[in-house]
């Protein structure tokens, strides 16, 4: 692992607004098409999404948290196609609309986090 981090701007990757979402039950976006979560997992890894967002989509030093509550599907797709920050753009040639729907299903299927108060290691 390289110790150099992307700049702060690089951290403004996908779905910045997701940070503000509480870990309550997800609201299924109205326009989200059907997706195959298993295929989505494969695509998430194959296309390198995990590199910034980690394998569970929980975010990290280089990418925002995008699971288990991704932003509404249309905004998700728009951002992936034309990111405003440092995230590399994914064209249709690389990931089709259906591919993104599969990834979306995978992200929405990630486990809910445990209640922080139940984790002694995270106590103040």
Partner 1 sequence: MNRRGFLKRASLAGAAAIATPAAAAEPQAPAARAAAPGTPIMSAAAESATPPEADVLTVDRTGSDFMVDVLKSIGLDYICANPGSSFRGIHESVINYGGNQHPELITCCHEESSVAMGHGYAKVEGKPFGVFAHGTVGLQHAAMAIYNAWCDRVPVYVMLGNQLDATLRRPGAEWSHSVQDAAAMVRDFSKWDDTPMSLPHFAESAVRAYKIAMTPPMAPVVLVLNAELQEAPLGADARLAIPKLTIPSPPEGDSRAVAEAARLLVAAEHPVIVADRVARTPAAMAHLIELAETLQAGVITQGGRMNFPTRHPLNLSQARAIADADLVLALEVSDLWGVLNTFRDQLHRSTRALTRPGTKVISITTGDLYVKANYQDFQRFADVDLAIAADAEATLPALVEAVRRATTGDRKRVFESRGAKIAEASRAALDRARLEASYAWDASPVSTARLCAELWGQIRNEEWALVNGTAGWAQRLWNFEKPYQWIGGSGGAGVGYGAPAAVGAALAHKSHGRLAVNIQADGDLMYAPGVLWTAAHHRIPLLSVMHNNRAYHQELMHVQKMCNRHSRGIDRGRIGSELVDPFIDYAKVAQGLGLHAEGPITDPNEVGPAIARAMASVKRGEPALVDVVCQPR
Binding site for partner 1 (CB under 8 A): 1-10, 19, 23, 46-48, 50-52, 54-56, 58-63, 65, 67, 85-86, 88-91, 93-94, 110-111, 113-116, 119-122, 124
Please state the closest distance from residue 30 (CB atom) to partner 1, in A.
25
Residue 10: how many CB atoms within 10 A of its CB? 15
Q: For residue 36, what are the CA distances in angstroms to 64, 100, 115?
A: 23, 10, 28
In the complex with partner 1, the residue whose CB is nearer, 69 or 101, is 69
In sequence order, what are the residues at sequence separation of 6 or more whose Cβ sits closer than 8 angstroms to the Cβ of residue 124?
A: none
Angstrom distance (rounded) from CA 112 to CA 33: 22
In the complex with partner 1, the residue whose CB is nearer, 31 or 97, is 97
In the complex with partner 1, the residue whose CB is nearer, 78 or 91, is 91
């Amino acid at each position: 692992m390289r110790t150099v981090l992307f700049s702060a701007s690089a951290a403004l990757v996908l779905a910045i607004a997701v940070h503000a979402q509480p870990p309550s039950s997800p609201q299924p976006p109205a326009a989200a098409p059907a997706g195959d979560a298993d295929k989505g997992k494969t695509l998430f890894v194959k296309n390198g999404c995990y590199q910034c967002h980690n394998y569970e989509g929980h975010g990290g030093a280089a990418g925002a948290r995008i699971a288990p509550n991704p932003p509404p599907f249309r905004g998700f797709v728009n951002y992936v196609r034309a990111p405003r920050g440092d995230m590399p753009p994914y064209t249709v040639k690389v990931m089709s609309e259906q591919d993104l729907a599969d990834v979306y299903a995978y992200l929405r299927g990630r486990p809910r986090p445990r209640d922080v108060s139940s984790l002694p290691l995270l106590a103040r």
